[in-house]
Amino acid sequence: MLSSNKIYRAPANSGEVILGRTLPSLLDEACSRSPNSQALNQYTETGWQPLSNQEFRNTAAELALGLLNLQLETGDRIALLMHSDVNFCIADMGSLLAGLVNVPIDLSQTIEHIIFILQHTEAKVLIIADLDLFAQIIPYLKNLSHLQTVIVADVPNDWHERRQQIICQHNVENGTTLKDEDNQLPDYLCLCLPKFLLSKQNEQSVIDIFQCIQVFSLEEIRLQGRTENLADRLQQLTSKLVATDLATIIYIPGITGEPQGVMLTHENLSANALAMFTGIPDLKFGTQEVVLTFLPLTHVFSRVFFYGHLNYGHSIYFSNSNRVLKHLKEVKPTIFATVPLLLEKVYGKLLEEEGKNQTRGNLPRRFSLHLSQSIMIWALKIAQKYELGKTSRGKYTLMLMLANRLVFSKWRSVFGGKVKYLISGGAALKSEIVNLFAAARITILQGYGLTETSSGLACNRSKFNRAGTVGLPIAGVEIAIAEDGEILTKSPYITQGYYKNPAATQQLIDSEGWLHTGDLGEFTTDGFLKITGLKKSRFKLSTGKYVTSQPIESKLKKSPLVAHAVTVGAECKFCAMLIFPHLENLRQQALSIGIDLPIEALLQHPCIVALYQALVDEANCHLPHWSTVKRFQLINANLTVENGMLTSTQEVNRATIVEVFAQEIAAIYEEKGLQRRGKAKIEKIDDLCPFIPAVSCPAYAQSLNS
């Protein structure tokens, strides 16, 4: 039931609903309307390597035709285990042109989850970034009966010579004269042979694979698709595509921890991108906009923005988290999409400078500031008084102008000096950060959406921008608030459902077509959406990564030493936990090992902390590294229905617990709040506490080493 009959929609003239478009058609339009010789730019050790949008289209078409030569059929699944670079974009667009359904897999996933996704989708082809990643998953491919081909994007320079060696050896052993020429790929190049292509230490892992899985380079598949009448073949490919065709399946953590595939069509993604981009009235076409991107293309937020920039013909530069600050100054983008964590780091650095007592001639090089400390502090205080959406007046306006001249221009240089829009998504951003940067004429546009809604549901844009909110609905979106405060939505961008999971789909989308987001929210008096909390147990970190609480909490509660465990960390940079020990069982355990202390002292004893750390370490196994509990706090408290910390069904009331134990949670995120075995003051904790069980986690249950 809705809390009222009020349904919120986009204001007039703040974006368009454009349906019926396939994703390759967005590229076609860009090639005609905004040809760009530097549409895609890949960072390499020797500099930026440009690719025009026309070359990109041709390369994708070659790959599409090469993939179809592998006897793939429309709708077959093809998995992408790749870095977020130009190769990913080629693989994505090439598979879409071929009428295939691609399945991007996050490189930070556990190997166990990667194999599950490959099995669940029955993927016939896997495109993988390089041989190092390939070597890590080879031992686990033996149960993938549907996998026929592995395509490696980046291969060594001597790849062709090594392949020739395989062919020559095969000819000798079988008395054949088959040659590797004319781009013909022998059909016997199965996974039992690529030990020539892998390092010695990985050879043994190949022997256990019995089914034939062919291994090629991305370039070899492209060569198979290269033809003189490429334009005609491209036209044939695009004419077969339908906007309502399934384009991709993006896996996110399910409630139980098992990955859950979100199905999205061409129209879902293309219409969402166009609705957001047309909602920014002064956004220009072609080379007038320069984009720096470092976010993972396996996530819908970054991917939809890529499609929008591609359609507008912008110049896109692909960076990564290690080099993004350097590349901001080098590329000088006009548009930069990020997650809150990076902006929080910059903001934190500014506050750190304010808090220092001594005056010095300049600040760290990364901020390029050469001002006295006192001027910096003054300008920061001026900025902290700014409120986005309100007109400044009188003396304050003059002080803002002076601060801009003396300080704020240097702040803008952190982002290259030309940024018109900082797009922040993936998680909530603190309003004080938005206001502070707005004072410095750095516009942050915060948005909100889910993978299940093809990314954007609402966003701030143009004059519709308020700190502490996620903006107004984008064109085509309807948003309502349920009686319990949950955000509900309808739009053409909503998922077709969860792959092979109709029960979960039915829970997500009700009989009236409303998608239940699991987030709590409210609208301000002027129509801006604010996120107020969580109804679901799954939440996002400030990195944009999802954390699913139930699996690790359930594992911990199996221990007789744990009464309740509550995962926390929404909008924070890592996952943490409040552990409520079963006090009677803990006391008995402590006495059995010779520790007799009052409860409060007992919960701080290094051996007891180490004992619970071992439980956390064991529960962390089988989780991606970003989803694991990094810190925890032992709390002496009983959770009951009477005190409101348990619901009538004996489930933890997360909102109440977060409110009641706000101080303890804040302490966890301070360095002094760290409680884990590796940081214990006693150096030889194992010698002091020999009863602590040793915990090991097998390689397949850990994140891929990317």
- How sure is the predictor about 196, in pLDDT bands with cuts at 50, 70 and 90? very low
Is the residue at 403 inside a domain?
no
Mapped onto helix, strand or coil, the DSSP state of residue 142 is helix
Is 559 a domain residue?
Answer: yes
Report whether 298 contacts 84 (CB < 8 A): yes
Residue 179 has pLDDT above 60, yes or no: no
Q: What is the DSSP string of 325-355?
A: HHHHHHH--SEEEE-HHHHHHHHHHHHHHHH
User: What's the CA gap between 636 and 622, in Å, rounded?
Assistant: 29
Contact (CB, 8 A) for 356 and 349: no
CA distance 244 to 630: 42
Question: What's the predicted TM-score (pTM) here?
Answer: 0.90
Residue 649 lies in a domain: yes
The whole-number pLDDT of residue 619 equals: 94
- Reported as a single tens digit per residue, the pLDDT across 454-505 is 999 999 998 899 999 999 999 999 999 999 999 999 999 999 999 999 999 9
- Between CA 291 and CA 302 the distance in angstroms is 12
Task: Name the residue with higher pLDDT: 304 or 358.
Answer: 304
Contact 193, 255 (CB under 8 A): no
- How far, in Å, are 548, 559, 572 from residue 551 at the CA level? 7, 14, 20
Residue 609: CATH number of its domain: 3.30.300.30
In the predicted model, is pLDDT for residue 183 greater than 50? no
Kind of pairing between the strands at 444-450 and 421-424: parallel
Residue 57 belongs to domain with CATH number: 3.40.50.980
Measured distance CA(655)–CA(368) in Å, rounded: 42
Mean residue pLDDT of the chain comes to 88
User: Mean pLDDT highest for which of 312-316, 394-398, 428-432?
Assistant: 312-316
- Asked if 98 and 22 count as a contact pair (C-beta separation under 8 A), the reply is no
The 3-class SS string of 72-114 reads: CCCCCEEEEECCCCHHHHHHHHHHHHCCCEEEECCCCCEHHHH
In a domain, 609, yes or no: yes
- What are the phi and psi torsion angles at 447 (to 5°)? -135, 180
Last residue in a domain, options 205, 223, 241: 241
Alpha-helix residue ranges (DSSP H) falling in 210-339: 218-225, 230-240, 266-278, 300-311, 324-331
Domain assignment of residue 137, given as a range: 23-37+48-241
pLDDT of residue 4: 67
CA distance 495 to 451: 8
- Is residue 258, in this structure, part of any structural domain at all? no
Residue 152 counted as domain residue: yes
Asked whether residue 15 is assigned to any structural domain, the reply reads no
**307 vs 305: CA distance, rounded Å:** 5
Give me the phi and psi of 105, to 5 degrees please.
Answer: -120, 125
In the beta sheet, which residues pair with residue 272? none
E-strand ranges in 7-71 read 40-44, 47-51
Instruction: Answer yes or no: is 11 within a domain.
Output: no
How many CB atoms lie under 10 A from the CB of residue 406? 15
Identify the bridge partners of residue 152 per DSSP, sorted by sequence position.
Answer: 128, 217
Q: What is the pLDDT of residues 37-68, one digit of tens each?
A: 999 999 998 899 999 999 999 999 999 999 99
- Structural domains counted in the chain: 2
Instruction: State which of 209, 241, 273 marks the end of a domain.
Output: 241
Tokens at 223, concatenated: 């060569």
